[in-house]
Amino acid sequence: MLLLIPLLPFAGFLINATLGRRLAKSISGGIACLAIIAAFVVSLLAVLDLRGAAGVHALRQVVFTWLPSGDLQIPFELYLDPLSSLMILVITGIGSLIHIYSTGYMHDEPDSEYARYFSYLNLFASFMLVLVLGANMPVMFIGWEGVGLCSYLLIGFWFTKKSAADAGKKAFIVNRIGDFGFVLGMLLLFTTFTTLDFQQLAVAVSSHATEAGSWGVITIATMLLFLGATGKSAQIPLYVWLPDAMEGPTPVSALIHAATMVTAGVYMIGRNAVLFTHAPHTLAVVAGIGVATALMAGTIGLVQNDIKRVLAYSTVSQLGYMFLAMGVGAYAAGIFHLYTHAFFKALLFLGSGSVIHALSGEQDLRNMGGLKKYLPITYWTFLIGALAIAGVPLLSGFFSKDEILFRTFSGGHVLLWAIGIVTSLLTATYMFRLVFLAFHGERRHDAPAAPAHPEEEEPAAHGHGHAAPAAHGHGHGGGHGTPHEAPWSMAIPLILLAVGSVVAGYVGVPHALKGSNEIESFLAPSFEASRSVPSRTASAAGGAAFQTVAVQEARTEQPGAEPASHEPAADEATELTLMGISVGIAFAGIGLAWFFWQRNRPLTDSLARQFGGPYRLLLNKYYVDELYDAAIVQPIKLLSTGALWKGVDAGLIDGTVNGVGALVRVGSTRLRRLQTGSIRTYAASLFLGVALILGWYLWL
């Protein structure tokens, strides 16, 4: 049954990849939607099955033994526990909505492109499900690489456009760097613990002491795994690919680059919670990187002019929050934020897609404004998404973000908490800047037609060829016509996601608000060394063994990983105070956005001019791309051209091959003189040879 979940979208992929170009749009799109919806239904059944079975924490299914090789026995095994069940529901649920949305959004593509798009989308869903369902690291790695491949294919979907093809390559290459770390970490874990099964690994690790104050093998392995996570989940230093990934179709940005794939790193840390808990150094690094990324991406998001780039930086920033939660040991809070974020960020992306669709491919915020009256459904749903991400009370983002900040604070990381609060102010501000610029005020055409400032490296891709999926066939030229509301296939997912963004948070109402924080107690078993396995150890080695394992388990649990019910009442007051602060911050951010971009735009522009330096720094994303280019890309290019190409390839390898050829040629020009054509000479040499051989035998 578990196998069916990734297999259904894979079947959809196979059908669309092989027959798709001959199928009508309604059929190829329908097959893809049907496949993912079926996967959603199966996931739902599987999760109900898991919840219904009393005393069972997880379902397992061994499909076949994948790599039998001596000590190394790797089964292709699927594993469903609370953590992965939450993930498969998010992937298939939100995935279904985005598939449906795509049928409307991609409708102007030719049939074959349409089928190609849906085959990639199905393939992605399939790999993502393998990633979260994998019971051991290699199986997870199949999914990990597979989603990277699909991400590459979908970013470069309009591959005839150079910027899209480049962005795809950038994503692929940057992810390779992370994957390199992931593989090394995996191998290090195997050599240390001789297993790659997550549960066995957790059990094996919990018999080790926590590596506090030392750099042991667990710390190094988890650091390497975290490098993989920074690549996949767009954290410093490998976040640079995600903003460029916005070259892909908007539903792809919503599904892959916001809701699901980029959370794989967070999921991976959650899956290896026990491992990471044993490496406090790594956790500190995770938290630090997370909060730094959140702050940096938030500041960049404040000034970007491309609607999708603002959302991309917002995604990076929110992922930073999730890593912060992971880093302070609040695994459940991080996963909770992952889950709520999937709803509102998918909603925001789809909303921006609807705006872009309505404006025939326009993505520049400076050319928007006043869209509220043309796009009422988009406006209201977008507003709900923005409120949710800003952390306005009673919406989903409020509960999850607050949980993270509270855990950070109560874990004693006051500095991290303060940065988190600043970031949440930024979040509210840039989101409402987006809302005010796009939907309020008057329609504007402020943007320079081509990038007027050379320092501004915006993709000048508005409405050129494939850049604008909606540009064909709608009759409005260049976005100057009346914007039109999205078709129903796009509006319904928006509405459903808006509902989700409102209610998704109610599974995790904190105890301070008289809630029960169900999600935390639901997820808790996934973050401990599995209970069933130690009990098996106990039956083998007697009661004493069980005692030690149980004690160590208790010790390994971080304060954050414990259900909140254990906390004293005094914390409740702190939590309420913190909640008050973050609510105030959220409204302050919205107010700031209103003041700067709604009420007082001239002031904002003059401020931007006055602080030209910092403004340009932010607009150009801290020049990180340029820095990487100068520090890494150019030296590699130089080395490749100067030494590797001209030296090794042209000099050494070609030289060797050509040298051998030249030697043979010169030698044979000499040697062929022997073939004179004169029979007499041949006879003489034959005679001489016979005489020599005879002489050899007779006299020597």
Partner 1 sequence: MVPLNYFLVLSAVLFAIGTAGVFLRRNLITVLLSVEIMLNAVNLTFVAVGRYLGTVDGQIIVFFVMTVAAAEAAVGLALVISLFRHRETLSPDAFTALKW
Q: How far is the CB of 674 from partner 1 (least distance, A)?
A: 8
Q: How far is the CB of 629 from partner 1 (least distance, A)?
A: 59
Pick between residue 632 and residue 684 the one whose CB is nearest to partner 1.
684
Q: Is 514 in the site for partner 1 (CB under 8 A)?
A: no
Pick between residue 656 and residue 681 the one whose CB is nearest to partner 1.
681
Do residues 203 and 533 lie in contact, with contact meaning Cβ atoms separated by under 8 Å?
A: yes
Pick between residue 611 and residue 682 the one whose CB is nearest to partner 1.
682
Pairing of strands 59-69, 72-80: antiparallel
Q: Is 688 in the site for partner 1 (CB under 8 A)?
A: no
Q: Segment contacting partner 1 (CB under 8 A): 13-21, 210-218, 280-288, 677-685?
A: 677-685
Pick between residue 603 and residue 683 the one whose CB is nearest to partner 1.
683
Q: How remote is the C-alpha of 258 from its chain's centroid?
A: 7
User: What is the C-alpha separation between 368 and 330, in angstroms, rounded?
Assistant: 40
Do residues 153 and 39 lie in contact, with contact meaning Cβ atoms separated by under 8 Å?
A: no
Amino acid code (one letter) for 134:
G
User: What is the C-alpha separation between 406 and 560, in angstroms, rounded?
Assistant: 10
Q: Is 568 in the site for partner 1 (CB under 8 A)?
A: no
Q: Is 62 in the site for partner 1 (CB under 8 A)?
A: no
Q: Pick from 373, 514, 566, 672: which binds partner 1 (CB under 8 A)? A: 672
Q: Segment contacting partner 1 (CB under 8 A): 254-262, 437-445, 446-454, 680-688?
A: 680-688
Do residues 133 and 6 lie in contact, with contact meaning Cβ atoms separated by under 8 Å?
A: yes
Q: Is 679 in the site for partner 1 (CB under 8 A)?
A: yes
Pick between residue 664 and residue 683 the one whose CB is nearest to partner 1.
683
User: What is the C-alpha separation between 278 and 64, in angstroms, rounded?
Assistant: 32
Pick between residue 475 and residue 677 the one whose CB is nearest to partner 1.
677
Q: Is 685 in the site for partner 1 (CB under 8 A)?
A: no
Q: Is 673 in the site for partner 1 (CB under 8 A)?
A: yes
| Residue 274 CB partners (closer than 8 Å, separation 6+) | 201, 202, 205, 206, 527, 528, 529, 556
Pick between residue 611 and residue 687 the one whose CB is nearest to partner 1.
687
# binding residues, partner 1 (CB under 8 A): 11
Q: Is 670 in the site for partner 1 (CB under 8 A)?
A: no
CB burial of 566-577 (b: ≥16 within 10 Å; e: otherwise) equals: ebeeebeeebee
Q: How far is the CB of 660 from partner 1 (least distance, A)?
A: 22
Q: Is 606 in the site for partner 1 (CB under 8 A)?
A: no
User: What is the C-alpha separation between 75 and 67, in angstroms, rounded?
Assistant: 7
Show the site string, 212-241: x = touches partner 1 by CB under 8 A, - = not.
------------------------------
Pick between residue 482 and residue 675 the one whose CB is nearest to partner 1.
675
Q: Is 687 in the site for partner 1 (CB under 8 A)?
A: yes
Pick between residue 638 and residue 683 the one whose CB is nearest to partner 1.
683
The closest of 343, 346, 349, 327 to 400, measured between CA atoms, is 343
Pick between residue 639 and residue 684 the one whose CB is nearest to partner 1.
684
Q: For tokens 């989940």, name the residue.
A: 233
Q: Is 692 in the site for partner 1 (CB under 8 A)?
A: no
Q: Pick from 677, 698, 699, 700: which binds partner 1 (CB under 8 A)? A: 677
Q: Is 650 in the site for partner 1 (CB under 8 A)?
A: no
> Which two structure tokens, joined as six digits, stand for 408?
């950070």
Q: How remote is the C-alpha of 296 from its chain's centroid?
A: 18
Q: Segment contacting partner 1 (CB under 8 A): 413-421, 484-492, 557-565, 675-683?
A: 675-683
Q: Pick from 373, 514, 566, 680: which binds partner 1 (CB under 8 A)? A: 680
Do residues 260 and 128 lie in contact, with contact meaning Cβ atoms separated by under 8 Å?
A: yes
Q: Segment contacting partner 1 (CB under 8 A): 158-166, 484-492, 558-566, 678-686?
A: 678-686
Q: How remote is the C-alpha of 573 from its chain's centroid?
A: 36
User: What is the C-alpha separation between 592 and 428, in angstroms, rounded?
Assistant: 9
Q: Pick from 630, 664, 684, 692: which binds partner 1 (CB under 8 A)? A: 684
| Residue 85 CB partners (closer than 8 Å, separation 6+) | 43, 46, 47, 50
Pick between residue 55 and residue 677 the one whose CB is nearest to partner 1.
677
Q: Is 678 in the site for partner 1 (CB under 8 A)?
A: yes
Q: How many other β-carbons are positioned within 10 Å of the β-carbon of residue 552?
A: 18
Pick between residue 69 and residue 669 the one whose CB is nearest to partner 1.
669
Q: Is 665 in the site for partner 1 (CB under 8 A)?
A: no
Q: How far is the CB of 168 from partner 1 (least distance, A)?
A: 57
Q: For tokens 């379902």, name the residue.
A: 59
Q: How many other β-carbons are positioned within 10 Å of the β-carbon of residue 483?
A: 21
| SS3 at position 71 | coil
User: What is the C-alpha separation between 150 and 119, in angstroms, rounded?
Assistant: 10
Alpha helices in 595-674 (DSSP H): 601-610, 612-619, 624-628, 634-638, 654-671
What backbone torsions phi and psi does residue 64 show, to the nearest 5 degrees?
Answer: -165, 165
Q: Is 683 in the site for partner 1 (CB under 8 A)?
A: yes
Q: How far is the CB of 684 from partner 1 (least distance, A)?
A: 7
Binding site for partner 1 (CB under 8 A): 672-673, 675-680, 683-684, 687
